[in-house]
Each structure stands twice: as C-alpha cells, then as structure tokens.
C-alpha cells in the first residue's frame, strides 16, 4: 500500500536549529556556574529531549538540577532561541510538491508543541502542514514512538501508510544528491 501521510521532524529536517539550541544550552550552563562547551561540541544535543542532554552535560541524575537547567534554557529559548534558526533551502517548495501529490503532511517533533507552532508560523509553513505535533513542556510524549502513535490515533492514520522523515534520512538524501 502506498503512503498517505508523511511526518516530518523539525530540527535538522526542516530547519537548522544549531545556533539557537546551542546558545540556549550555553546560557543555561553558564547561569548554573559551569563553563559551557563551544557550539560544535553541543551538536549531539540537537534532537533528543533536553533532560537527557542536561543530565549528561551536568554529569548528574539529580532532577532538581536538571529541571533548573531546562528552566534556564527555556527562559532564553522562548524569547530568543526559537528564532535563532534557519529554514533549509527549498523546504516550502518541497512541502507544496508533496501536498500537491496528494499526501497529508504533519510535523512530529521532540520540541515542545508551544515552540514548534511558533517556529512553523515564523517560517510561514502553517498552511503546508495538516497538523503540528510536539511534546508537552513537561515531557508528555517525549519518546518519539509515543508521539507518532499519538498522531496515528488522532489523525486516524494506518501505520503502514505513513512515512517519517527525520534528519538521518535528510542527511542521507543530501549526501546522495551531492555525489551526483
């Protein structure tokens, strides 16, 4: 059976969020009294939930410290960091072509919904997506498979007809196109 819907990740797939995410992590670490790594050393933090990244960066499992770091991160991200990213080239045209071909398109991101919707609106992509889905600020559906299951149920989609496009797929596609 052919695909009827395509789920897109946000960070690393539709947008390059490196500047905003790394600056917010650096800010949080500095505010907690740590010397933050440079942006290139924080690339691995883009994508996964913040809790795990801060746990590793701070070398702690202490939820109080981790939540304090997340709160500092979000303080900066909510006003500055979410706009410190860029749309990858041709994304609007690609989404238009996919929709014109008859597919439904959804955003499925590990970023909190409240931020994901603002970013999508900022880049003018709202009309090119049938729905925007992200995690809740305090972790509900923070595991990507739970989020995808939620989308399938909410949108009444069959798993066998849905494709998820994330940054690993996009990296492979760009590498393939560069080789030509």
Structure confidence by residue, pLDDT tens digits, 26-68:
999 999 999 999 999 998 998 777 899 999 999 999 999 999 9
How much is the pLDDT for 141? 76
Q: Is the pLDDT of residue 122 over 90?
A: yes
Report pTM. 0.81
In order of 9, 19, 109, 158, 166, the CA distances from 170 in angstroms are 10, 19, 15, 23, 6
128: closest CA among 157, 106, 102? Answer: 106
Q: Is the pLDDT of residue 97 over 60?
A: yes
Catalytic residue among 9, 16, 62, 146: 9
Q: Is the pLDDT of residue 123 over 90?
A: yes
Question: Is 9 a known active-site residue?
Answer: yes
How far apart CA 114 and CA 133 sit, in angstroms, is: 9
How much is the pLDDT for 180? 46
How much is the pLDDT for 108? 93
Of 12-16, 55-59, 172-176, where does the model show the most confidence? 55-59
Query: For all residues of the chain together, what is the average pLDDT?
Result: 88
């Amino acid at each position: 059976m052919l695909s009827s819907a395509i789920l897109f990740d946000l960070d690393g797939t539709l947008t390059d969020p490196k500047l905003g995410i790394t600056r917010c992590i650096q800010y949080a670490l500095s505010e907690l009294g740590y010397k933050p790594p440079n942006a290139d050393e924080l690339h691995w933090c883009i994508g996964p939930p913040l809790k795990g990244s801060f746990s590793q960066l701070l070398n702690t499992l202490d939820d109080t410290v981790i939540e304090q770091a997340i709160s500092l991160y979000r303080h900066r991200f909510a006003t500055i960091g979410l706009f410190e990213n860029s749309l990858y080239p041709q994304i609007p045209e690609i989404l238009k072509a996919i929709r014109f071909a008859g597919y439904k398109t959804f955003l499925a991101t590990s970023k909190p919904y409240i931020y994901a919707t603002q970013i999508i609106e900022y880049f003018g992509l709202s009309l090119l997506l049938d729905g925007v889905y992200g995690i809740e600020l305090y972790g509900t559906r923070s595991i990507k498979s739970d989020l995808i299951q939620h989308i399938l149920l909410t949108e009444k989609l069959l798993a066998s007809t849905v494709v998820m496009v994330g940054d690993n797929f996009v990296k492979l596609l760009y590498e393939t196109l560069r080789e030509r």
